[in-house]
Structure 1
Amino acid sequence: MLFLWALQRIGVEDHILLGFLITAVSVLTIPLVLAAVRDSVGEEAARRYLPVLVLAPYAIWTAVSLDGLVAVLGAAAIVSGLRASRRRVRGWAATGWAGLAGLLVGVAALFSYSAPWLGLSLVCVYFARRRASLNVLSGVGALLPVLGTKLLGFGWSDGLVAAETDYAARVAPYRSVLWWSAISVVVVLLAAGPPLYASARKLRNTAMWPFLVGAGAAVVFSIAAGLARGGVEHAWLPFFPWLTVAAVAPERPGGEPPPAPLLLTGIGALVAVIVEGVLVTPW
C-alpha cells in the first residue's frame, strides 16, 4: 500500500501507466534468476534456461499484480546469498552480501506474507555450500525491516494474524478446501507449464535444488494448510521461476546439460495464449 501511495504522490495515477511500470520492474526477475543459475551451475545452463523464463505462461499475470515486485526482491535475495557463499568470498564481503540477502527477504516479507519461504532457499544454499554461519547474518538482516516497521507502528506478526482472521471470516466459509486446492494445483501446472515436469523429474541431478526447496515448500504448505483458495496465479509469482530451474539439469548427476527444452517451452507459451484468450479475467 505504501508503494502504491508513493507512486501516486509522484504523479503515477493512470492504471495503464502503473501496469507498464509494474511490469518493467517485475521482469527484472528474469536476469536475476539467470544470475542465480549461472552462479550455481554455469553460464551454459543459464543460457539454455533463458527461453523457459521468457516464455513462461505465468508472464500473463505479471502486469496485474504487485507480487511481481516480491519476485524481484526474492530473486535478488537469493543472488546476494549466492554471492555471499562463494568459496573465495570471506570477511566483510561475505558479511555484506549475506546481510543484504536477509534485508531483501525482510523487505519482501512486508509486501507478502508468503515471501519468507524464499528464506528457506537461502538456508539450503548456505548449508549446501558449507557456509552455515551466514544464516545468522541473513537472519539479522531479515529482522531489520520487520523491527523497523514495528517501531513505526506496524507489527508484522499482528498483521499476519489479522490477515488470517479476515481470510477465515471472508473467504474460507464460502470456498471448499478440497475443490479450491485442486484448482490451485491445476493453476500451478498451467502457470509453470510443461517444464515443471522436466524440472521435477531431474531435481536430484542438479546443484539448483535449494531454489526448488523454498518455492516448493511455499506451494505445498499453502495447499496442505487449505490457504490456496483463489488468487494463487499471482500470489505465487515469486515461486514459479524457481520451480522449473531443474528443467535444464543433466539426465544424470555430473552429466552434460541438455539442450533448451524449446518444445516444452513453446507448448507452455501456447497454453498462456489460450488461457488469456478463453478466460474472461477482471483486469
Structure 2
Amino acid sequence: MVGLVVTVALVGTAVVVPPLLDWQVWPRVHIEDGTFPPLHGFPQVKLGIGTIPAVLLAAASVRWADPVAMRLPWRRLLLVAYAVGLVWLPSLALVDGAEGISGVLGSPSEYLGTARSVDDVGGLLREYVARIPYDAPDGNWPVHIAGHPPGMVLFFVLLVKLGLGGDLAAGLVVTVIAATLPLAVMTTLRVLGSEHRARAAAPYLVLTPSAVFLAVSADAVMAVTAAWGMCCLALGCRVGPRRGWPWAVVAGLLLGYLVMMSYGLPLVGVLALAVLWLGSGRRWGWGRGWWVQGWWVLPVAAVSALGVVLVFAAGGFVWWEAYPVLVDRYWDGLASQRPGSYWTWGNLAALAISAGPLVGAGIGATWAARRRLDDRAVVVLVAAALIMVVLADASQMSRAEVERIWLPFIPWLTLGCALLPERWRRPGLALQLATVLLVEHLLHTSW
C-alpha cells in the first residue's frame, strides 16, 4: 500500500506543481496548445474507433485474465498473450483514428523521413557524426536521428526497402513487434525457474499502460530487442555451453545492436548481469565450475556484441566518438531550458504514468519478498530495473519526454506486480486498465 500511495502522490505532485507555482518546466516552443507535465502532450478529450474494443477487452480482462494466465498450458498462454496484445495495442492507438498508428512515426522529427532518403548506407554511417551538431555544415539531423546511433534508422531503412516504409505500414510493423514484448519477459522469467510468477505477471505485462506508447514508438522496438536479448542469455545459461552457445551468440548480437539503437541502453548491462547471476545458480566469480554454471555465456555474448559495435565502427560510425558530440547537442538545445529541479523527479512521475501506478505497489511487494528464495528471480530482476532507472535519471540526459524512453525498463519493473497478494490482483489490474484508458482518452500524447 505504501508503494502505491507514494506513486500516486508523486504523479499528482508532478502534475499539480507546475501550474500551481507557475513553474515553466517546458521551453516555450512547446506551449502553443498547452501542456500536461510530466507527459509530452496536452489535455484533449476524445473517443474513436478503438474505444469500444479497448473498453470491452479491459472489462473482460478484469474478469478472466488472471485465471486464464494461471491455467492455460504454457505455449497456449504465450499465443493468447500475443493475440491479446495484437488487439490491445492497436485498439488504444485507434482511439485517435488511423493517425494514432501512423502519426508519430510520420513526424518530420522521427526516423522514417530520413530512412526514405537513404540510398547509400555506407555514406549514412560515414557522415552520421558530422551531422549531429546544430551547426553541422551540411545540415543537422532531425532530433531523433541526431539523438540516437544509426541502428534505429537502419531498421526503418530496411522497412522502406521491403515496401513497408509508409507511415501506417511502419506503425503496424512496430505494433506487431511490440506485442512480443510480454512473451520475451515471461519466457525469461520461466527459464530462470519462476514459471508461476511469470504466469502471475502476464496480465500486467500484456495490458500495461505503456501500451499507449508501445504501439506508436520506435522505442518499443528497442524494448523488444532488449527483452529477447535477455531471454537468449537465460536460455544459454540453462542448456549449457555445448547446446547453448548459439543462444549466447544471438544474445550478444541483439544486445550489441541495441547499443547501436540508443546511447542510453548500455544500461541494460545491469539487467544482463542479473540474468546471468540467476542463470548461473546465483554464483558470482570465476571459481571452479564457472563454465558449467552459466557464466560462460558472458564472454561469448560480449564478443558477439563487440563484433556488432566494431562492424559499425568499420563502416564509419564510432559510438564512443559520437556520444560526446550528442551530449554537446543535447545541452545546446532545449534540454538546458528544462529545469533539473523538476525533471529529476518529474521523469519518475512520467515513468509511473507510463508503467501504471500499481508498479509502485509491486516495488513495495518486491522489497517485502527480498528474503524469499522462491521469489529471488523476480526480486533480482526488479532490482536491476530500478538501478537502470536511477542511473538513467541521474545522468540528466533524459530531461522530459521520457514516457517513451522508459519503455525498455518498464516490463522488468512490472514483474513486481506478480508478487502482490491475491486480494490485490483483480482490483490492481482494474486500476492499471483504468489508468491506460484515462490517459488515452483524456490526453493527446506525442509519442
The two structures share one fold, judged by TM-score above 0.5: yes
Q: 1:161 to 1:214 in 2, by over 3 A?
A: farther
Give 1:16's aligned residue. 168
Give 2:46's aligned residue. none
CA contact (8 A) 1:122 1:210 kept: no
> Is 1:236 aligned with 2:386?
no
1:247-279 superposed Cα distances (whole Å, 9 cap, x missing partner): 21377xxxxxx5782321221121111112222
| Greater Cα shift, 214-223 or 141-150 | 214-223
1:56-87 superposed Cα distances (whole Å, 9 cap, x missing partner): 1000001221111111111111111111112x
CA contact (8 A) 2:344 2:396 kept: yes
Give 1:90's aligned residue. 240
Report deviation, 1:202.
2.9
User: Aligned match of 2:216 in 56, 61, 64?
Assistant: 64
| Greater Cα shift, 117-126 or 230-239 | 117-126
Unaligned runs of at least 5 residues, structure 2:
1-152, 284-293
> Is 1:134 aligned with 2:297?
yes
Give 1:262's aligned residue. 426
User: Aligned match of 2:252 in 70, 85, 102?
Assistant: 102
1:213-269 superposed Cα distances (whole Å, 9 cap, x missing partner): 442222111222222212211111111000021221377xxxxxx578232122112
Q: 1:282 to 1:196 in 2, by over 3 A?
A: closer
Q: 1:159 to 1:262 in 2, by over 3 A?
A: farther
Give 1:274's aligned residue. 438
> Is 1:161 aligned with 2:311?
no
1:180-221 superposed Cα distances (whole Å, 9 cap, x missing partner): 222211111111113312321232242223322442222111
Cα-Cα RMSD: 2.0
Give 2:378's aligned residue. 208
Q: Which residue type is aligned with residue 276 of structure 1?
A: E
Q: What's the TM-score once normalised by structure 2's chain length?
A: 0.58
> Is 1:53 aligned with 2:205?
yes
| Rounded Cα–Cα distance in structure 2 between residues aligned with 1:250 and 1:93 | 36
| Greater Cα shift, 149-158 or 258-267 | 258-267
Largest Rg, 1 or 2: 2
Give 1:255's aligned residue. none
Task: Give SS of 1:228's match.
Answer: coil
| Greater Cα shift, 70-79 or 186-195 | 186-195
Task: Give SS of 2:399's match.
Answer: coil
1:153-196 superposed Cα distances (whole Å, 9 cap, x missing partner): 11111222222111111132211012122221111111111331
Structure 1 residue runs of 4+, over 4 Å off?
Answer: none
| Greater Cα shift, 193-202 or 183-192 | 193-202
| Rounded Cα–Cα distance in structure 2 between residues aligned with 1:97 and 1:30 | 19
User: Aligned match of 2:194 in 17, 34, 42?
Assistant: 42
Report deviation, 1:7.
1.5
| Greater Cα shift, 33-42 or 59-68 | 33-42
> Is 1:179 aligned with 2:337?
no
Give 2:95's aligned residue. none
CA contact (8 A) 1:211 1:242 kept: yes
Task: Give SS of 1:280's match.
Answer: strand
Task: Give SS of 2:260's match.
Answer: helix
User: Aligned match of 2:231 in 76, 79, 86?
Assistant: 79
CA contact (8 A) 1:55 1:266 kept: no
Report deviation, 1:14.
2.6
Q: Which residue type is aligned with residue 382 of structure 2?
A: L
Give 1:220's aligned residue. 390
More helix by share: 1
| Rounded Cα–Cα distance in structure 2 between residues aligned with 1:139 and 1:227 | 26
| Rounded Cα–Cα distance in structure 2 between residues aligned with 1:95 and 1:212 | 27
Matched residues, number: 275
Report deviation, 1:52.
0.3
Report deviation, 1:114.
2.0
> Is 1:5 aligned with 2:157?
yes
Q: 1:282 to 1:117 in 2, by over 3 A?
A: closer
